[in-house]
Structures are given as C-alpha cells and as structure tokens.
Amino acid sequence: MAQKPDPVTLEVVRNALPAIANEMAADLHRTSYNMMIYEVRDFCTALIAPDGALISQNVGGVSHFVADLGVIIEDGMKRYGRDGFQPGDVIITNHQAVAGQHLNNVVIYTPYFFEGELLMFSIVRAHWIDIGGVSTGFGGGPSVRDAWMEGLQLDQLKIHEAGKVNEVLLKVIRDNIRFPDASLGDMRSQIAACRLAFRRLDELFQKFGRGTMLSAITQIFDETEARCRKVVSAIPDGVYEAESFLDNDGILQGDRVRIHAKVTVDGGKMIIDLSGCSGERKAAINSRTFAGARVAYKALTAPLDPVNEGAFRAAEVIIPEGNIMMARFPAPMASWSTVIPTVVDTILTALAPAMKDGIPAAHHGLLGGAVVFFGVNPKTRKRFVVQSLEGGGWGGRPYEDGESGSVSICQGDVRNGSIESIELRSPVLVEERSLRRDSGGAGRFRGGLGIDIRVRNFVEGRWNLHRPSRIDCPPWGVWNGRPGGTADYLLRVPGEKEFRSMNASQYPVPADSEVIVRTGGGGGWGDPLERDPERVREDVTEEMVSAEKALNDYAVVLDGDRVDEAATRQLRKSRGNAGAVKAGAVKK
C-alpha cells in the first residue's frame, strides 16, 4: 500500500532523484573517451518509469533530448514486455523509427529492480564519434540519402543479457565503425553511469520503502504540473501564431522549409500546434520528436526547475505524422536538429504579443557552428576527427542585451571544444576564436554577437561545411528590433587570396587550408533609437559595434571616445520613431 510521504521525506526525494541523474552525468563525463562527451557534453542521463514517464534528468543536459527518452522505454516495453527484462540486461538502440535523430546519438539503458519488481530504467543518450557510414562528426549533413547510408542502425538490442555480454553483437559494432576503441569505451561509460544509478536508487528504496517512494514521485509530478499551469494561466487566453522558415533544406535551393506555430492558451492549458510546418523532406533534416515544443514550453513555465513528466502534463503538442518533425522511417535524419531551434524561437515569438515583457528576440537559431575536420595523421597513421560546436548570439531581452557566443536553446550545457584539446589531439591550429563585431541585431537591448573560429589544417583531409539555411530569414528582432547577422562557412586553400563561402559535406582539402566557421548573432529587442547612447559608446569601445553602426542603426554621434549629446539628440529627433513593429513579424 502506498504511503504518503511526510514533507521532509518528500523534499529529500524531490532533490535526490535529479541528484542521481546528475551523478550519472558526472560519471559519464569523467570516464568517456571522445571530446563530444567529456569536452562538449553532448549527452543526457535520466531515470524513466516503465510507462515512459520522465522521473528525472540531469541538469544542464542537452535540452532537445527531453522529449525523446520516454518513447524509447515505451517501445522497449512493447518489444520485450515487462517480463522480458532481467537484472543485468543492457539495451542499446539508436533506431530512427522511434526517436528520430542522427544515428550518432546512441542510447544505453538498463532495467532497475527492487525486491524482484521492475520499477524504472536508467538511461544515457550520448553522441558517439562515429557509427559507420558517413556519420563521422555530426551525421553526414542534409545530403545523406537514407539511414543505411548514414550508419549502423541498432534497434533495441540486448548487448548484455542477464549480465552476459553478447560478443557477436559487440563484434558487429566494432567491425563497422571507424573509432571502435573510443565508441565502445563510451558505451562502457554509459553502462557504468546506468549502474551507478542502481546503487543510489537502492539506498533510497531501502530507506523509505517502495510505497513511499512511488507515492513521492506521483506527488512530485502533480506539484510540478500545478506550478506550470499557474504560469500559463497568467497568459491571456487566446490563439497566437507566428511563422518563419529555412531558406532551403540543404538540397533543393529556393525551396523554403516552412515553420509555423499556432499556440492556444486556455486557462492553465497550452496547445502547441505545429501542423503548419513543412512536410517531411528528401533531405536529411527530418526528425521524429516533440523536442521543439517541449523546450519552448519548459522555457516559458519553469526553466530553472528540475524536469520531470509533470512539467509537460498541461501541454498538448500537435504534430501530425509526415510532418518534418514527425517524419516516418526511413526518411533521412542525419541533420535532425537543424529545424528545432528555429521552431522554439517561432513558438516563443507567437506569444510575444501576450507576454511583451517576457519574450526575447530570436537567437541564432541553429545548433551552432559545427567544426568537423577528419583524416589520417601521417605520423601515427591513425584516423582522427576534430569536433566542436561553436555558439552564436542570443536575442535581446526585455531587460538586457542577449548573450554572445552561446550555444542554442536546444543544447543546454553543451560547450565548445577547448583550443588546447583540439590542437593536442589533432594536426590543426586554431588561429582565431573571436566575437563578430556588428553581428548582434540593433535594439533598445542589443542582440548577442556570433563568433568566428578560424582553423588551419596541417594535413590533407576533409571538412564538413554545411552552409546554414537561415540567410533569408535571419534571427529576427521584436518590437522594432533589427535582425542579427547570419552564419556561414568560409574556405581558403593554398594559393587563394580570399575566403569563399562553402556548402559541402566531406569536402577534400590539401594541407595548409583554412576554414572560418561563422555563427549568427541574435535579434534586437525594442527600438534602437531608445538605446542609451552611453551603452552604444561602450559597445563601440569594446569593439562589439562599429562607429558606422552606432551612427546608422542607433543614431549616436561619437566625438572621439565620447558621445556628442547635442548632435545625437538632433539626429534622433530628425529620424523620429518608426513605431513598434508587430512582434513575431517574420519575413515571408
């Protein structure tokens, strides 16, 4: 019989469950083999109930993994049944039919039993450096034609069964990937993190008992739902819409990818309808996920609270089958996350008229600038791959400027690779990593700046240079804020004087070539003519804004290192205030 927990016990359990997921993350981070995990932190750790409910997830984990863990457990339960799991089982999966992502995002999960009863699963999703096919780096890009070309597909397979290793399956994986020591080392780290959770869960269940623990989890879900409903109930009821787009899908130039969000607020309930988004594409930018809607909803309701299933009970998400975000296998998904950050921005922008002081301008809207170069080191004759994710600018906010050089809203605590680690592990030189002056959109509160990272390769190899598809739809401003700068990939090979814009996958280059990975800036919030002239002067001094932009966008006249106040007042008066542009107005 379930025992209702006393208030002290409830708070202990409320904090202990996220702490278990956080300790799993720390264990994985310290024992993993590849930079995408121990440096970039492209992973998440969690506890999931047998019905797929999210019990806890690590703080700072990759945000857009929040919607794609429970569905894996649900699928596993259908596959094996409750009686099909045993202590010592370890399941591996990355199949796109269930949680459509690129195949590099490999999931390991293990069943937790207490006194012989299956109560939950510990689960880790982590980015493997390679999973065969063209997956080296970040999955091969939008030009990947199908999942088989992308890499090795693993569909709910027991790599350990009742504690016994499946040596045949292990050999199949090892023989079909380029970096078996790193990837299988990461797999062992994932397994260790899952088993660590068992020790901590045993401590809790033995101390408080099964009934009290399960009752506490139910109450935590209910209270989390109530807090989220309270936030939503403060938003005026109504139907709100916004639209944006990608220039193309990476294959068909000029064929825009539509993103449309219709948000209905009704009391404490929110319905996020993404039916108006593009259908699934032939290009590999499809996914199968509720991540865009869930990330937006969490950001609106309780962004700093630990996440659990209760956080999403009052949010109904509508994405029909065949939508670009509910694509049907075998639609290609190598660049599955391309659309999601822009979806989040579009949902938030739809609500800007109802939450003027609570919604920022759009951020750079892509998963950062991917630095991916790979080849064979001629000295060691070993394969290598350089990987990093570079952040961009976030949108200006109702109360302050946007952050600069930060990863997207869908990436949580993901970080770029340190210059020292990149150069120690690979034959490249990072010549520059700097903020891009004038890339932040002008506004009362300026958008954050994107960055340029310039890398020289000392040996011949191949670069992934996937040109971002947001040139015609730059990170937009709100309330008369200006758009932020857009992203690009630039290449200069020996003998060329100028860099040229590129859009290519696995592009071969000779030694001594240089690449600039350029990320976008955030949009501005509010009229630039309302920005404090002294703050504009500081931006010019700090080389974030040029003197030309200060004059043209902000109507601030500088005389040396000071503001000419009289000339600035006169210039702003002559320009007048163009009036607030409707929030959510996106170029169509």
Could you tell me if residue 141 is inside a domain? yes
Q: How far apart are CA 485 and CA 475, in angstroms?
A: 7
Question: Which tokens belong to 42?
Answer: 């492209």
pLDDT of amino acid 38: 84
Cα separation values, 6 from 10, 219, 385, 472, Å: 6, 11, 53, 56
* Domain stops at, among 226, 245, 276: 226
Going by their DSSP bridges, the two strands 269-273 and 315-318 should be labelled as parallel
Which of 310-319, 430-439, 577-586 shows the lowest per-residue confidence on average (mean pLDDT)? 577-586
Residues 6+ apart with CB under 8 A from 116: none
Could you tell me if residue 270 is inside a domain? no
Number of separate domains in the chain: 2
Q: Closest Cα to residue 388, out of 450, 453, 448? A: 453
Cα separation values, 337 from 101, 121, 299, 583, Å: 7, 26, 18, 25
Q: Closest Cα to residue 87, out of 160, 136, 146? A: 160
Separation of CA 550 from chain center = 33
Could you tell me if residue 310 is inside a domain? no
The pTM for the full model equals: 0.94
- Judged by DSSP in three states, 31 sits in helix
> pLDDT of 352-400, one tens digit each?
999 999 999 999 988 768 899 999 998 899 999 998 889 999 999 999 9
| Co-location of 365 and 221 in the same domain | no
What are 39's strand-pairing partners?
Answer: none
Q: How far apart are CA 200 and CA 303, in angstroms?
A: 26
pLDDT of amino acid 3: 77
Give the domain range for residue 220: 7-226
* Domain stops at, among 161, 193, 226: 226
pLDDT confidence band for 526 (50 / 70 / 90): very high
Q: Is 382 exposed, middle or buried (0-12, 13-18, 19+ CB in 10 A)?
A: exposed
Could you tell me if residue 26 is inside a domain? yes
pLDDT of amino acid 582: 39
pLDDT of amino acid 583: 41
pLDDT confidence band for 221 (50 / 70 / 90): very high
Secondary structure of the chain: what % helix, strand, coil (to 5)? 30, 25, 45
Q: What angle do CA 398, 399, 400 make, to 5 degrees?
A: 110
Could you tell me if residue 445 is inside a domain? yes
Could you tell me if residue 242 is inside a domain? no
| Co-location of 157 and 15 in the same domain | yes
Cα separation values, 276 from 62, 163, 258, 343, 354, Å: 26, 47, 8, 11, 21
Q: How far apart are CA 366 and CA 339, in angstroms?
A: 8
> pLDDT of 362-372, one tens digit each?
999 887 688 99
pLDDT of amino acid 332: 94
> pLDDT of 232-248, one tens digit each?
999 999 999 999 999 98
* DSSP run (H or E) holding 36: helix 35-38
Q: Which is more confidently placed, 335 or 588?
A: 335
Q: Indicate the residue type of 394.
A: W
pLDDT of amino acid 580: 35
pLDDT confidence band for 66 (50 / 70 / 90): confident
> pLDDT of 538-568, one tens digit each?
999 999 999 999 999 999 999 999 999 999 9
Q: How far apart are CA 359 and CA 205, in angstroms?
A: 42
Could you tell me if residue 345 is inside a domain? no
Main-chain dihedrals φ then ψ at residue 94, nearest 5 degrees: -150, 15
Q: Which is more confidently placed, 578 or 163?
A: 163
* Domain stops at, among 226, 243, 267: 226
On average, the pLDDT of the chain sits at 93
First to last CA, the chain: 59
Q: How far apart are CA 132 and CA 295, in angstroms?
A: 30
- Judged by DSSP in three states, 228 sits in helix
Main-chain dihedrals φ then ψ at residue 547, nearest 5 degrees: -60, -35
Going by their DSSP bridges, the two strands 451-457 and 461-465 should be labelled as unpaired
Report whether pLDDT(205) > 50: yes
What are 262's strand-pairing partners?
Answer: 241, 273
- The length of the chain in residues reads 588
DSSP 309: G
Report whether pLDDT(588) > 70: no
Could you tell me if residue 308 is inside a domain? no
pLDDT of amino acid 562: 95
pLDDT of amino acid 584: 43
